[in-house]
Amino acid sequence: MRGDPRPAPTRPDLFTRASDPVPEPDAARLLALVERRAGREPVGRILGHREFWTIDLALNPDTLEPRPDTETLVEAVLKALPDRNAPLRLLDLGTGTGCILLALLAELPNATGLGVDLSPGAVAAATANAARNGLAERARFQTGNWGAGLGERFAVVVSNPPYIPSADIAALDPEVREHDPLRALDGGADGLDAYRIIAAQLPDLLPPGGLAGLEVGQGQAADVTGLLAAAGLEPAGVFRDLGGVERCVLGRRRS
């Protein structure tokens, strides 16, 4: 309760003091939270933050709530890097909360990164999340249209772009449809609009041998692999999430 001088209860307190009466203001606050969840608001939105990989991320209405599936991309990229101590330069397109870039930086002590998002609100959230996780000195965020006009090459380019076909949006669970920003969900008629844009930009963003890692929707891995190949990238693996879905596609720019 705001202004309450008492320390917050610990986990053991919840068991040893389980029979203590709950103060009326605290009970009312709890019931209000329960009602929000009963209305299909996600727990992360109610709490205002979400854990991802080894970091904790604040959310706002302009950011997609990070999912465990996206950790598949982080894991795949890390496995593909021969030296985690190298001074790598990373780029995260459509960064949202900054989850992918910040998770990678947390594992790559000498890397630096840039996150780009069309939404100023998402850029503000990602910037705050970098500070929240002690990564502000190695991460920078800016508004932009994917990788257009950056004028720089990166050892690694990652993205979790919108990939849900437009016609499927209405059938999504309310937790997603009503609380995640539409621009972070809608991938166009076949769900591949953003991949076409990103693939066309990769030759200007990656040096020879540079790595691209993209999260994909169910059934899209083959199509996205084809788009990367058409852009001059060699296949570097398709990786499944814990549910067995092909969730991540890697490609390397040919030397």
Show binding-site residues for substrate: 160-163
Q: Of all helices (H) and strands (E), which one includes residue 253?
A: strand 246-253
Binding residues: 94-98, 117, 146, 160-163
Q: How many residues does the chain have?
A: 255
How far is the C-alpha of 27 from the C-alpha of 129, rounded, in Å? 31
Residues annotated within a binding site for S-adenosyl-L-methionine:
94-98, 117, 146, 160
CA angle 58, 61, 67 (to 5 degrees): 60
**At 242, phi and psi to the nearest 5?**
-65, -20
Query: In sequence order, what DSSP letters do the residues of 12-72 get, joined into one string?
Result: HHHHHTTTSPPPHHHHHHHHHHHHHHHTT--HHHHHTEEEETTEEEE--TTSPPP-GGGHH
Strand, helix or coil for residue 173: coil
The three-state (H, E, C) secondary structure of 74-133, written as one string: HHHHHHHCCCCCCCCEEEEECCCCCHHHHHHHHHCCCCEEEEEECCHHHHHHHHHHHHHC
Nearest to 145 by CA among 90, 89, 201: 201
